[in-house]
């Protein structure tokens, strides 16, 4: 199990009859960087949102002033301890794509409430949302390209469909 006391993702419901799901990326000390636990819990949240008829929409946000800084590269570079989250990811190799909303998307409106950093995978998650609301502190970036990495979360396809092609090409190069 993770050493963190708090779950890496919080799921709550609000509004009349709990009609609005609130999904909070909850690793503020790591700027809500994606962990295996967070991705597994994200997929569970998407399934709950999709299958629960009482949920009409979902708001996705980050704890501590940042949305998501992408994959936790430090943790992934250090290897993985044998824990239930690693085992779950290994059992379903497509799980990380489902969590990032590339191979699965709930049939309900997803609304992103963005403050602070939304970088790399954080920006790629946003591209699957129906509505994005950004605070003044929001910073977006496809930072994989700065490290010589290919943005595998879908930016190469989705971004050019959502903003002018020339801007998308500039961000992706």
Closest CA to 34 of 120, 94, 110: 120
Say how far apart CA 1 and CA 99 lie, in whole Å: 19
Which residue among the candidates 48, 51, 115, 144 is catalytic per the annotation? 144
Count, residues in the chain: 173
Asked if 81 is an active-site residue, the reply is no
Which residue among the candidates 37, 51, 115, 124 is catalytic per the annotation? 124
Asked if 144 is an active-site residue, the reply is yes
Ramachandran category for residue 79: left, alpha or beta (phi over 0 → left; psi -120 to 50 → alpha)? left
Helix (H) or strand (E) holding 58, with range, is strand 57-62
The catalytic residue positions are: 124, 144
């Amino acid at each position: 199990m993770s050493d963190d006391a708090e779950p890496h993702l919080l799921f709550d419901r609000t509004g009349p009859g709990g009609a609005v799901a609130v999904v909070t990326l909850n690793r503020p000390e790591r700027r809500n960087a994606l962990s295996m636990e967070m991705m597994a819990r994200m997929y569970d949240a998407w399934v709950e949102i999709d299958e629960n008829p009482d949920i009409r929409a979902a708001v996705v946000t980050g704890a501590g002033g940042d949305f998501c800084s992408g994959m936790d590269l430090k943790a992934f570079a250090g290897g993985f301890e044998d824990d239930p989250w690693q085992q779950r990811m290994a059992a379903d190799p497509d799980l990380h794509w489902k969590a990032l909303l590339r191979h699965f998307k709930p049939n309900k409106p997803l609304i992103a409430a963005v403050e602070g950093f939304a970088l790399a995978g954080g920006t790629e998650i946003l591209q699957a949302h129906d509505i994005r609301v950004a605070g003044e502190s929001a910073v977006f970036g496809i930072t994989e390209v700065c490290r010589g990495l290919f943005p595998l979360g879908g930016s190469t396809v989705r971004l050019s469909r959502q903003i002018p092609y020339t801007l998308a090409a500039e961000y992706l190069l």
